[in-house]
Amino acid sequence: MYSLSTVRRKNRAWLRRHSYSFFSSLGVLLQHKVGTPMTVLVLGIAMFLPLGLYVTLANLDGLNLHQDEWSAVTVYFASGTSEAEVRRVADELEKRMQPEKIVVISPVEGLVDFRDASGFGDSLDMLEENPLPWVMQVIPPPGSSEEIKASIDGLTTYLQSINSIEVTQFDYKWLQRLGRILELGEAAVSVLMLLFGLAVVVVVANTIRLDVASHADEIEILALVGAGNAFIRQPFLYTGLWYGLMGGVLAIILLYVTLFYLAGPLGLLLETYGTTFAMRGLGGSNILWLLLGGGLLGWSGAWISVQRYLRLLAVGGRLGRH
């Protein structure tokens, strides 16, 4: 059994060794004015690609595309349909489907709206009679996308069975497609995160492997004078950790530069769709997760490389042979 003072001494020694490795590995990295930036750049880009896609999707997901309007079904009645027939269909719909809202637009109201929106005021005055039909907008009850789809399907099936209705039009399919594209994007983000995470591990592992090879003599001497595997591993693991953290920081910088660069043109584009939009970044917790993940990936890459080398130094290995 160890006495309390021995345990404290050992803990202090452990802490001293770790803090030394933590800072000295950073110092060594900063001394490499070309190699370190190049490795960090590769890691930063590898982390930026899935990160950028993730943020893009998160932004698209939160985009106000006026989904309630997109799910509306527009019903055009046949020319000459009476107001009574239109009201009857509306009442029937109200009873059967319990929609969120039904808006009935008469030909006169339609013409007024068209006059205001189109700017053909004078030309419209030349028409002998109003050519516009009765129009009805039906907004299904709110729900999940699956529920809305079911409502719309039921609604259109019913509307198609009514003779006085000429055309039924709905835009929800486009919204659904967008939803599917977003789902596909999310799946792509997962795959990319996995692949680029692996790339980070491989890049760090390869860099540390070269580092280990260039310090082979030093490692051998350390092992000969009594350094254990943990002691030998430590500086390399911290180097891997720093690489991962630096790569993560660079990815965040790249992301915000890209967002800043895209914000203007994207805002103008969305304005034409009648929506305004403020690009969202990562948020504090996501930044922390990214740095943690980057550090962990770097640490893992370094572990793989050093561990492979340490196996050669096991008892009965090549240690001290040359």
Residue for token digits 């055309």? 167
| Using rule CB under 8 A, residue 23 touches another protein | no
- Burial of residue 183 (CB within 10 Å: 0-12, 13-18, 19+) is exposed
In the region spanning residues 285 to 314, those forming contacts with another protein, defined by CB under 8 A, are: 314
Closest to 65 measured CA to CA, from 168, 153, 177, 150 = 177
In sequence order, the 6+-apart residues with CB closer than 8 A to the CB of 81 are 133, 134, 164
Cα 56 from Cα 161, distance rounded (Å): 42
Closest to 319 measured CA to CA, from 215, 216, 220, 228 = 220
Please, what is the angle between helix 284-312 and helix 229-271, to 10°? 150
- CB nearer to another protein: give 172 or 236: 236
- CB nearer to another protein: give 227 or 287: 227
Question: Minimum distance between the CB of residue 299 and another protein, rounded to whole angstroms?
Answer: 22
| Using rule CB under 8 A, residue 120 touches another protein | no
Closest to 71 measured CA to CA, from 100, 92, 96, 93 = 100
Question: Minimum distance between the CB of residue 286 and another protein, rounded to whole angstroms?
Answer: 38
Cα 163 from Cα 152, distance rounded (Å): 19
3-class SS letters over 86-102: HHHHHHHHHHHHCCCEE
| Using rule CB under 8 A, residue 34 touches another protein | no
Which among 70-78, 226-234, 246-254, 257-265 is the span making contact with another protein, rule CB under 8 A?
Answer: 226-234
Question: Minimum distance between the CB of residue 16 and another protein, rounded to whole angstroms?
Answer: 6
Question: Minimum distance between the CB of residue 178 and another protein, rounded to whole angstroms?
Answer: 58
Question: Minimum distance between the CB of residue 206 and another protein, rounded to whole angstroms?
Answer: 23
One residue of 28, 41, 227, 249 binding another protein per CB under 8 A: 227
Closest to 294 measured CA to CA, from 20, 46, 82, 59 = 46
Output phi, psi for 74, to 5 deg: -100, 130
One residue of 23, 120, 174, 231 binding another protein per CB under 8 A: 231
| Using rule CB under 8 A, residue 131 touches another protein | no
| Using rule CB under 8 A, residue 218 touches another protein | yes
- A 10 A CB-CB count for 208 gives 24
- Burial of residue 54 (CB within 10 Å: 0-12, 13-18, 19+) is buried
| Using rule CB under 8 A, residue 278 touches another protein | no
Q: What is the dihedral of CA 194, 199, 200, 201, to 10 degrees?
A: 90
| Using rule CB under 8 A, residue 16 touches another protein | yes
| Using rule CB under 8 A, residue 320 touches another protein | yes
One residue of 7, 8, 14, 269 binding another protein per CB under 8 A: 14
Question: Minimum distance between the CB of residue 317 and another protein, rounded to whole angstroms?
Answer: 8
In sequence order, the 6+-apart residues with CB closer than 8 A to the CB of 280 are 55, 58, 59, 62
Site string for another protein, 159-198 (x = CB under 8 A): ----------------------------------------
Question: Minimum distance between the CB of residue 276 and another protein, rounded to whole angstroms?
Answer: 60
Which among 121-129, 164-172, 217-225, 247-255 is the span making contact with another protein, rule CB under 8 A?
Answer: 217-225
One residue of 221, 257, 263, 292 binding another protein per CB under 8 A: 221
List residues near another protein by CB under 8 A: 10, 12-14, 16-17, 217-218, 220-229, 231, 314-316, 319-320
